[in-house]
Every structure is written in C-alpha cells, then in structure tokens.
Structure 1
C-alpha cells in the first residue's frame, strides 16, 4: 500500500493585494512624517506671528536685552536673563542627574532579578509623579533641609572666596531648583540607560570577567563602549525634560526678573523661560507688548529645544559612524 505525504503549500499572496497594501503603508508613513513636520512648522509660524510686535519693536535686541518692565508707558523686554537661567539650571540638573541615573542603571542591570525588577519599577514610578508634586515637596520640605545642611555650610566656608557660593542662602534659588530638576530627570535617563546596557551581549561581560576584570572594569571595558551612543541619547532625553520643565522650577527658583535673573551665584534667585511665561501669562495684556514678549520667549524656548535635539542627533550619528559595534537604537 502506497502512502502519500502531501507537501505543505506555501502562502503566496496575490500580487495585486500586495501592491495595494504596500501603497497604503507608504501613504500612511508619509502622512505621519509630514504631520510631524507640519506641526513643528505651524508651531513656529504661530508663535512668530503672535510675537511679531515685539520683534518689530526690539528686533534682535529682544534676545540680548536684560530689562523686563511690563509697566505701560515704560515697557522694556529682554529674554537674555531667562535664556541663561534655563541653560544654567538644565546644565546643573544634567551634571547631578545623569551620573546618578547611569549609576542606578548599572546597579539594576547587574542585580539579580528579584532585586533589579522591583527597584527598576520604583524608579520608573517616579516618572508618573506630577511636576507640581515635586514642586510642593521641594518648597515645603526639601528646601528647608537643603538650606540648613548644604547651602549655609557652603556659604560659610566659601562664600567670601568663591563667587558661586556668594549670596544669602534662602532655599529658593538656582541650586535648589536644579537639584529638584535632576531628581525629575532620573527616571527617564535611568530607564533608557538600563535598557541600553541590557542590550549589550552577555558574552562581552563574561569575557571581561574571564580576563580578571572587576565589576567596574567590566562596565568600563565591555558595557560602556557598546552602549555609549544609547547613553548619550538617554541623556538628551533628560535634557529635553529639564529645558522645558515649568511648575517645579517656577515654585523653587525664586522668580527674579530683569537683570537680577542673570545667574551670578548658586544661592541667588533666577528664572527660566518657562517660569516667566507661567508667572506672567495670565496677567499679560493683549493690548500691550507684554503678551507678545512672553510668546517671543516661548518661540526662543522652542528653537533652543529644537537646536539641542538637532545637535544631539548629529553627535550620535557621528559616534555611530566612528565607533564600530555601537548599539543602534
């Protein structure tokens, strides 16, 4: 008796249906890409249109000016102090938060699952806390201890010799806002860094241990070279959060205006672009230059955020070309 074994039939979609689905996919992807670009262009156009009176009145001096006076008849507006305030607080937050975030990611990625899993969940849970909660905690709890235990001793020890620690510690200043900001960016940077480190082949870690490397040497020789690009990308995500943060910074930075807002000491009040908008937007009169000036600050903030992301993209691209074996995210 002969037995016949039927061969499995391969699925061959019809050419017509395949072409239609490909066209639909291409059209959908194109529409999605154009939509993103259109939103950015519309944002820039709308902000420029609404802020045109201040550009017509002051021109480029609006960016380089330091005065901020909204009194009718004596109006004078300059965004430079708030640009400096934004950049300084963001830089300090990155200097504090990024090393902590990477250290947390190193511990979680190398810890046993019973410890790393719950700890990673707790760190990511911090990202769900609203910024106003951080601001309230910083205003009523953190700044009091930070002023007594950190700011006052530093001022007493170095205030007369180092200008960074001059000024009377009050707790509502640049350094307090920056520390809270660094705490807020830790969940984002840490989560992305952890995933990047986990993507490094396990053989690389084992090879480093077989050569007698310590745990730190293992990360230095086996993990960081392969995850450098991803770590930079994680840091840029944290920088984007820091540059645009509003409520917590507004509640803790002291909200100085005009030339007094230029950062001259870690213990002096300042203001960022987002905080000046949050503080004065409701009170701004559409009939004056006050409202166009605030919208102009928003336009500068948007352009700075775009510039940061463009520069970061260029840096990451160059590193990926130079460093072979980099992780492509």
Structure 2
C-alpha cells in the first residue's frame, strides 16, 4: 500500500509541472478544492505525470510510448503527460465516451481507439494492444504511482487550509480516494468517499470484503463507472479515518445545477457527486470538485 513517503516522492516529481490547487470558500466552514482547474481539467494529471516521470527515471519508458484505457479523463491526463515526456499515447475509450473528451484527446495528440460500451471493454482492448506493441501499460486508477500522484492534492489542501478536518471525494475506481486517504492518515483528517448508488464498486467491495464486479448505470458513469475498485482503495476504505456513502443520480443532478446557479461553476457529474455526499457538519470540510470535462448546455440559470 502507498504511504506518506510515496506521496512526498510524487510531490517532488510533479512540483512546478501541475497547477497548485485553488481552495475557495463555499459557505460556513466549507471549502471547495477547485481541482477542475488542473491541466486537462481533472486531478488525474497529477497521477499521470508522476507515473510517466518515475518510469522515465527508472529507464523503462519505451519508444512505443504508453497506452491506457479510460472513460476519458485518465486518457486526457495520460496524453498530456506523454506529450511532456515526448512519447506517444494510445488511448482506448468506450464508444459512449463524451464527444467533448474524445475531441480533446485528439487535440492533445493521442491515438484514440473507441471500443465497446463500457470501460471494461476498452480495458481489454488496451491490454491486447500493449501485449503486442511494446507500449507501456498505464491504468486509469489501479497503480501505486497513479494513486500517489493523486494524493499530492491532499497535501496542497492542508498547506492552504491547515484547519480542515474532513475532505470529501467522489470515487470511481478509487485512485483519487486511495491517494487522498493515504495522505490524510498522516494529518488526522477524515476522508468521505462518495459514489452514485448505481456505480458502487467501493461500497460493494466493503460489503464483500474484497473487490467485486458491479453493474454501472449512472449519470456520472463516464467518470465514476469502474466495474471494480482497486485493492488499494478497499484497504483505505477499511481504515478508521474513512467513510463510504452513496448518493442518488437525482442528488448529483441537483448539486451540479446548484454549483452553476449559486457559484457559476461548470463541473462534471462526478464533481457534483462529491458535493451531494458531503455531510452537514460544524467541522471544517473541503469538497474536491474533481473535473470539468463536460458539456454545459444542459445547465440553466433558471
């Protein structure tokens, strides 16, 4: 399992290359971590850069480049980081991936392959490609370097708001949650992991005592639609400083629209999921708004 040293090493690799998180007031003792302002529009730039920079340091970044399967956001981050390292990124996404993400992947120079209806089908095609091409296999969330990179976000939040006692994050496969929970353990901070009711890989793993496959059907599935959570995420979800909660699609839609009408913030459904699951408490709480690669045309000021 990753630890504080892994996150410190990741912070050293990404320093000066990622955008430090902006933490904005959002009400009485509540803050928003505006991580959707990050390169490529999500926190995932942190893990992708840490992964490829460490592989370059280790001398195992091949000329064939890197390949990844993604719902969209991890692929964007991988393509961005690959361009920084001067290698090609081949990105496998489901046919259902939002057009806005596919178009941006191509603008970043990625070789985009659309396969299947779900992330798992794209992942199978990616595994076949890496086996035959010699490309380095990356992962959307299930790798210690990816999770440690994501954990640098928590370190930055604490530096800006040392009084924060709780951080709320949305969970898909668990990379962001794992990194944040690992970093939070050092600071005595509670981490709330939020999932849609019908994208509940972490909740199901907790119930089963091991990662298990789940059905995926949610408005946030493009970002949170992993069928199976990582073993790392399950480990951290079993620790006493973490809590897992489920929210409805209706609550996600409501909070996404409220973020626009009340704050003029355009975010993905995944980011709104975190807010939908944030507890009403007197403790100082920071809600991570994790991404904004979305089509805003369904939002209204009405």
TM-score range, shorter chain: under 0.3
TM-score normalised to structure 2 length: 0.22
TM-score w.r.t. the length of structure 1 is 0.20
Higher RCO (C-alpha 8 Å, min separation 6): 1
Which structure has the highest helix share of the two?
1
